[in-house]
A and B are shown apart, each in its own frame.
Chain A
């Protein structure tokens, strides 16, 4: 069981959380090409290594937050607010 630290509630079991996938996705301008829209909608970083993703403490405070996590070890390297720049 992964232990995630909600910035609001502290360390809780992974089963209290929902993963929202890759974070820091920037919406392209309205006049973007099909390729840019496709990239925005469907193409995600899928590193075998550190991934920055968003999680929600669904069965707790309900807050969204960002996590930098290693996709092989599942080690959580940092937890930071939704509006913060990646560390």
Chain B
């Protein structure tokens, strides 16, 4: 049984059926499919993470994304338009030189750009030396890009359903049942009890709440991460751009809207709405980069509740309760990891052993101290 019908939960159900032949699977979703963070992100996919464990994990995910439309026979509209992280200082340039070499050693495509190359790629950017955060260069991952977030959830859901998985929406889990040795034997839901020998939680910002129902404490704090879109306009930006100075990242959707994200609202929250104070600073950062966007109107603004852990790396594996597994801790970067999160959660649910990609990302690391402090996770300092 999977608790959570977002991308990660649906992908786990699909890979349980497809990779492991386990089709007696239910996905329980409190609301509707993909209505949590899967429908609330900025749809960026990339794999330029710094540590070898992370680069392996996220690049596997990106490779699965590259196959996903064919695999699911559902157009997830993956557009590998690349991702550019700007450098605003000599120190940024030095850091990026180190990153590009590290990333290439991990097999992740990565290119350093000069200021002129950044300008050629992103003509809308303010390249003047008088800019508040002058652009001196950039770091680009050409294979990065964006995908259609709803299609990822729906594609996995349809493919899982076709293989025999039961997907039950409007079915909130309210407790767990335990059997011999304290092992999980099922869940209580608003629509009645359901028995299950193994349960996986994939609930992002609500991971602490669900794990807490089973008496499991997680090193997670939930924050609101907001994003917003402008009115649509003609093609103006054909890559993803992020500024480490302002923490703002922008891409243009296929519909023409500028999709803008930035910093977390830096206090614990389960409210799926962002604070105006942060929205204001995100917009200010956007206009520092793209002064010509100043007259665009914002169409929508929203927030998702993200599960942030101390080292910005995920937790995928068993919990102290036998039979209960968890996939959480992706924080601000869960969308890009949907395929690998599902793949590795399915593996541990099916076999009882962690997938080799997930082995470094276990809950024990918060006791042993072997953190994977992924500074590149967000691309910005949260």
Chain A interfacial positions (CB closer than 8 Å to B): 1-2, 13-15, 18-19, 21, 34-35, 37-39, 41-44, 46-48, 51, 53, 69, 71-74
- Interface contact B269-A74, CB-CB below 8 Å: yes
Q: Please give, as numbers and ranges, the residues of chain A lying within 8 Å of B127 by CB-CB distance.
A: none
Interface residue B270 (Cβ < 8 Å from any Cβ of A):
yes
Q: Please give, as numbers and ranges, the residues of chain A lying within 8 Å of B209 by CB-CB distance.
A: 46, 48
Interface residue B368 (Cβ < 8 Å from any Cβ of A):
yes
- Interface contact A46-B367, CB-CB below 8 Å: no
Which chain B residues numbered 263 to 292 have a C-beta less than 8 Å away from chain A? 266-271, 275-277, 280
Interface residue B208 (Cβ < 8 Å from any Cβ of A):
yes
Q: A1-B276, A53-B268, A71-B268 are in contact. Are A34 and B221 (CB under 8 A)?
A: no
The B interface is mostly helix, strand or loop, or mixed, namely mixed
**Alpha-carbon distance A61/B209, docked complex (angstroms):** 36
- Interface contact B221-A21, CB-CB below 8 Å: yes
- Interface contact A46-B222, CB-CB below 8 Å: yes
Nearest-Cβ distance from residue B89 to partner chain A, whole angstroms: 24
Which chain B residues numbered 210 to 233 have a C-beta less than 8 Å away from chain A? 217-222
Partner of B219, one of A18, A37, A43: A43
Nearest-Cβ distance from residue A51 to partner chain B, whole angstroms: 6
**Alpha-carbon distance A43/B319, docked complex (angstroms):** 14
**Alpha-carbon distance A31/B270, docked complex (angstroms):** 36
Interface residue B143 (Cβ < 8 Å from any Cβ of A):
no
Q: Please give, as numbers and ranges, the residues of chain B lying within 8 Å of A53 by CB-CB distance.
A: 267-268
- Interface contact A46-B220, CB-CB below 8 Å: yes
- Interface contact A46-B266, CB-CB below 8 Å: no
- Interface contact A48-B366, CB-CB below 8 Å: no
Interface residue B98 (Cβ < 8 Å from any Cβ of A):
no
Partner of B271, one of A15, A21, A35, A74: A74
Partner of A19, one of B266, B309, B367: B266
Q: Please give, as numbers and ranges, the residues of chain A lying within 8 Å of B266 by CB-CB distance.
A: 18-19
- Interface contact A71-B269, CB-CB below 8 Å: yes
**Alpha-carbon distance A11/B222, docked complex (angstroms):** 26
Q: Please give, as numbers and ranges, the residues of chain B lying within 8 Å of A37 by CB-CB distance.
A: 367
Nearest-Cβ distance from residue A60 to partner chain B, whole angstroms: 15
Interface residue B206 (Cβ < 8 Å from any Cβ of A):
yes
Contact sample, A vs B, 28 pairs, CB 8 Å cutoff: A1-B277, A2-B275, A14-B275, A14-B277, A15-B277, A18-B266, A19-B267, A34-B367, A38-B366, A38-B368, A39-B217, A42-B219, A42-B310, A42-B366, A43-B217, A43-B366, A44-B219, A44-B221, A46-B209, A46-B222, A48-B208, A48-B209, A48-B270, A51-B268, A53-B267, A71-B222, A71-B271, A72-B270
Q: Please give, as numbers and ranges, the residues of chain B lying within 8 Å of A42 by CB-CB distance.
A: 219, 309-310, 366
Nearest-Cβ distance from residue B368 to partner chain A, whole angstroms: 7
**Alpha-carbon distance A69/B265, docked complex (angstroms):** 15
**Alpha-carbon distance A72/B206, docked complex (angstroms):** 12
- Interface contact B208-A34, CB-CB below 8 Å: no
